Each structure stands twice: as structure tokens, then as C-alpha cells.
A and B are shown apart, each in its own frame.
Chain A
Amino acid sequence: MNLLSWLRKVPLWSGFWYTLGVLYFILPLYATLDFSLRIQRDVISLLAYQNAFADPGFLKTFVYSNILAVITILFSLLLIVPTSYWIRLRLPEARRIVEYVTTLAIVIPAIVMGFGLISVYGAPIKIPFTSIQLTDSLLNSPVGTNFIVIMGYTVLALPLMYRSVDTGMRTIDVRVLTEAAQSLGANWFTIIVRVILPNLRASILSGALLTFAIVVGEVTISSILNVPAFSPYLWLMGQHKAYEPAALSFASFLMIWASMGVIQIVTGGRAQASVAH
């Protein structure tokens, strides 16, 4: 074997770019891990992690963000699964419009949307063109504020959730399943919950995990609306501490990694990315 054919077999050019890419991925993570372990001079320890997890603020904001994430996921599914199902089954002419709406959710930056929500729901809600007031400003009460935050998160997650669910719907034959269920006497509720949903398990799980990653990492809307979420807490902590924020950053990376790993397994490698930073 001469040198030339050997060189052809080892793709140097590809290898070069791949190595560079892996370094770009790994180095910041390694640096964060390395830094987070050095809170004590000359000793490698997990003290920064212990401190961070023991902080009452961590537990409070992390639990809060997780609750928001779960509600957002449930609400998005309740909104999107029946819509996507109905469009596949009876209303193909609405597909385009729904896709435009999900694209609009990408076009409006999170920060603009946050201020849009404040501008509409930060004032008392009136019946249009009259001065009859329906409710006080929703943002005056914690319940109202949380509601608006969840609606905002649902919009952020909409493009991903819709795409995940719709891709799943495409791979099953919605019409045949529906007709089979109907001929056996199932009603709409039974069809969706016991026939359609089980067939969408993989795509629902991947949509849900992506939404989870978005919501727990989200800082724009939560800081504009001033709710006690995890990411604003992490940011604030970074203003007066060094090691604990690094520890939590590395931990949240591991969390995203776990979510994406599960998605890879259940969808067989159809990876997705969010577009909302």
C-alpha cells in the first residue's frame, strides 16, 4: 500500500474539523467542571456542589421552575395534540396557517414577546371598544403572573412541540386508526387518549423534554416578569459567588445532556434544536 492510498483512507481533512468541533464542545464544559471542583485551595472537592444544593434559594427556584415546566408541557400537549390530530384528520387546509403561526413564534424574540404580554395583560382587561372592565390587571396577582408566564413559555415551546407532535402524527395513519376505533364504538376522548396518544409516545416525550430544557433554562421572560425562577437565581448568584454558579451550570448541562440522550434513544436519532436564546 503506497502512501497516497493510505492518506486517502484516513480522512485527515474530516478528522481536522471533527477534532476542532469536539474541542469547542468539550473545553468550556471541562473548564466549568474543573473550576467548580476547586473551591478549596489545592484540594479537589464537591464542596461547591454541596453548598449550591444546600442553598434554600436553589431548592425554591428549582422546584418553582420545574412546576412551571410541567404545567407548560401539559398545557402545550392539551393545546397541540388535538389540533394537530384534527388538522391531519379533517382540516388539512388549516395546516399552512398553523405552520405560519408556529413560525411567528420564532420570529417574535422572547424579549419582545415578554413586553408584549406586559403591555396587554399589565393593564385592566376591558371589553374592546367599551369601558366595561372584565378583570383587574392579571399581573397584579401571583396567580395571574404565573398564568401569563406559562402562556409565554407555551409560545416559546410552540415551534418545537408542534413539530415533534406533527412529525409523530405523520408516521401513524391517523385516519385508519380513527376509523378502526370508531367502528369499535370509541368516542373522541377515547380515540385521542387511548389510541392516538400511545402511538405518539416517542414524539411527545421528545417535545416534552425539549420544553423542559427551555423552561428551566429560560431567563428572559422570567426576569422581565420578575418571577422567582431558577435561571435568574443562578444569574444573581453569579454576581457575588464564583464556584457555586459554576457547579450549578455544570449540573444544568448534565440535565440537558440527559434529556437529549433520552430523546436520541426514543426517536432514533432525529435530533432537534430550539431556536430561542
Chain B
Amino acid sequence: MAQIALPASRRSTSTVSAKKWLGALPFFLFAILFLIWPSARLMIDAFLDGQGRFTLDNLAQLFQNQTIVSSYLLSIQISAVTAIGGGIFGFFLAYSVTIGGLPKPLRSMLITFSAVASNFAGVPLAFAFVATLGRTGFITAILKNIFGVNIYTAGFNLYSFLGLSLTYMYFQFPLMVLIMAPALDALKKEWREAAENLGATVFQYWWHVALPILMPSILGTMFLLFANSFGAYATAYALTGGSLPLITIQLRAQIQGDVLHNPSLGYAMAMGMIIVMAVSTIGYIWLQSRSERWLK
């Protein structure tokens, strides 16, 4: 949207622009005090030892300490699995209500549901999945009583990687639906007609036209889903009580726990998390801006 410059007054422009910035001062002050300084402070603390002396020890530990390395890997795995899985599932759902031919009312129902589900996380979500797939859960019981399959003796466990992934999916794929539905709307009918006129099959249209156009948006949103799950703490904590050593769980144990308790190392872990989050968020923003070339 175009921003028209205000009729510039003839007064000295520097004092005017300084005054202009005063209007945004409260916001920036707030951001510095409660967002930027606290995060910067953790990053600085990551370079200090218990006595406040400079050290690179904490950062080295991130790569040497086996527990920490594996908790990073676990968080990355679960985020990648739920981002890709949620991304694909969410894409097909968004497809079904946009160009997939399902009637309009089904679409607004799905969008509302997605808005609710993507905000339904933490303790209530964990309890809902216990009631569904826990040892005495609803689906567990149906499978056992009707189909004669006991998923728990077959090796399934809700408090495991698979169980937590299924739980995370509950807020992951709805987010994909919310972002992909407008992108799919923006696919132009003319592109499909042009492809069909030139004799393209449905597969050729998707493979050579639609998917290349949608790809930045799909991948970008998957990056967002990745970040969404990587920073998650509440749901994992509520579901597993800390038994699945994700990076967020380990981080709290290092800073606030009784057993591990090495705050400096915790700050280094926090810094590592911020870096991973920044990379995936930048990936999202970059790909999203690329997708706007075609989808506007």
C-alpha cells in the first residue's frame, strides 16, 4: 500500500523528524525493556561462568555434552516431522476447501475449526490426547474392543516421540490450513485453462505450473510450523511431565532444576534455541516474500 508523503513543512526537517520519532518511543522503550534486553542479557550470560568471568566453555558444551546434543536433535526431529507431516496434511485440507470442489459452508467450518485448534495448546490439549490415545483412552479402547488391536502391547506409547508428534499435529496442520487457503485461492483460473488448452494433463498442470508457484509458500509455512514446534514447551511438559528430553525441557532443568542446575549452560542452550528459531523464521519470511511474486 502506498504511503503518500505528508506535505513537508518548511521548518528544519531534523527537529520535525526527531519529534515524529517521539511518538513511537513508548513502543520501542517497551520492546527494549521487556523483549530485547532480556534476550540480549541471556546471550551475554551464555559467555560468562558462575563467577561472571568470560568463557567459551558453555558454548563448547553445546556441542560436546551428549545430553544436550541429543536434546537438540530430538527437538529438531519432532519439529521437522510435525512441520512436514502437518504441512502436507494441512495442504490437502486447504486444497479440499479451495479448489478441491467442496461446498462453501464446509470451508468456513474448516477455517473456524483451524483457528480454534491452532490456539488450543498446552495443558488442555495434553489432557485431551490422554483421553483419546492414553492407556484407557477413547480410541485405544475402540481399537481394543472392536478391532481386537491393543496398540499399547503393539509398542505405541502416548508419552513418546510418536505420541507427542500426534499431539503437536493438532495445532500444526490447522496453522498450515490458515496460511495455505488464501495462497490456493490466489492460483489463477487462467493458468489452469492455458495449461489445459495446450493439452496438459492434470498431473502436468500440478507438476509444472501449480506446485512451482505454490512451493515457496508451502516450504515457507513449513518453516513457520518448524519454529512453532521447536519453541513449544507447555504441551510437551503437560503431556510427558519432562520424561521426553526436548531442548525446552532440558533448558528449564538446567536453569531451575535441582538435579542438573547449571544456569550458565542453560543460557547457552537458550542462545542456541534463539539461533535455530531465527533461522527458521527468516526462512519463512524470505520464502513468503518470494511467493508473493506470483500469488498476490
Contacts and interface: CB of A to CB of B under 8 A. Distances in A.
Interface of A: 11, 13-15, 17-18, 20-22, 24-25, 27-32, 34-36, 79-80, 82-83, 86-87, 90-92, 94, 97-98, 101, 103-113, 115-117, 119-120, 151-152, 154-155, 158, 170, 175, 210, 213-214, 217-220, 224, 231, 234-235, 238, 245-246, 248-250, 252-253, 256-257, 260-261, 263-264, 269, 271-277
Nearest to A99: B285
B138 A94 contact: no
Contact of A28 (B36, B92, B131, B230): B131
15 contacts: A14-B102, A31-B131, A101-B28, A104-B35, A107-B274, A119-B42, A151-B33, A154-B30, A217-B124, A235-B237, A249-B125, A253-B116, A253-B124, A256-B116, A277-B171
B24 A25 contact: no
B175 A17 contact: no
A120 B248 contact: no
Interface residues of B, number: 93
B210 interface: no
A228 to B, nearest CB: 15
Contact of A92 (B3, B114, B115, B248): B3
Given A109-B274, A253-B120, A273-B174, 7 more contacts: A24-B169, A110-B234, A119-B38, A249-B124, A269-B108, A276-B231, A277-B235
Contact of A11 (B102, B108, B138, B178): B102
B281 A106 contact: yes
A277 B121 contact: yes
Contact of A108 (B101, B170, B277): B277
Given A27-B139, A103-B281, A275 B227 contact: yes
B128 A112 contact: no
B96 interface: yes
A271 B112 contact: yes
Contact of A115 (B42, B101, B121, B122): B42
B42 A245 contact: no
B68 interface: no
A170 B6 CA distance: 17
B111 A234 contact: no
A24 B124 contact: no
B55 interface: no
Given A272-B115, A272-B178, A273-B115, A119 B41 contact: yes
Contacts of A210: 119
A83 B123 contact: no
Interface in B82-139: 89, 92-93, 95-97, 100-102, 106, 108, 110-129, 131-132, 137-139
B232 interface: yes
Interface of B: 1, 3-4, 6, 20-21, 23-24, 26-28, 30-31, 33-39, 41-42, 45, 89, 92-93, 95-97, 100-102, 106, 108, 110-129, 131-132, 137-139, 169-171, 173-175, 177-178, 224, 227-235, 237-238, 248, 251-252, 255-256, 266-267, 270, 273-274, 277-278, 281, 285
Contacts of B237: 219, 235
B95 to A, nearest CB: 7
B220 to A, nearest CB: 14
Contacts of B127: 32, 234, 238, 245-246, 249
Contacts of B26: 79, 82-83
Closest 5 CB pairs of A and B: A116-B38, A109-B231, A14-B100, A31-B138, A14-B96
B3 A112 contact: no
Contacts of B41: 116, 119-120
A14 B1 contact: no
A28 B128 contact: yes
A12 B132 CA distance: 28
Contacts of B173: 21, 24
A101 B34 CA distance: 11
Nearest to A238: B127
Contacts of B97: 14, 18
B123 A17 contact: no
A213 to B, nearest CB: 5
Contact of A17 (B35, B36, B93, B111): B93
Contacts of A119: 38, 41-42, 45, 267
B44 to A, nearest CB: 9
Contacts of A11: 96, 100-102
